[in-house]
Structure 1
Amino acid sequence: MRTPTAIGLFPLHSVLLPGASLSLRVFERRYLDLVSECTRDQRGF
């Protein structure tokens, strides 16, 4: 059995299609930490 993988998510009221982009203003500490972690590990979010 495979171990579940944790992924970072932003709860948004938007739908994005593949290849689309959305500018975000990140100010909450938990989301700043998420962005920093994803950037450090070269992962998307």
Structure 2
Amino acid sequence: MNALYCALGTNEFNRVSQCTTAYEIWTTLSSAHEGTSKVKKVRLNLQ
């Protein structure tokens, strides 16, 4: 997990600094950058 923390910028690190597993880090970052399934559906409807 240290490698993941070192690869992140300040904003991303602040989002995931409380995570205890790599999976938690992944899900937190993916939802922050891609959005939830509801956000994805709204984006598709807007196009």
Sort the TM-score into its range (normalised by shorter chain): 0.3 to 0.5
Normalising by structure 1, report the TM-score. 0.35
Greater length-normalized contact order (CA 8 Å, ≥ 6 residues apart): 1
Per residue, is there more helix in 1 or in 2? 2
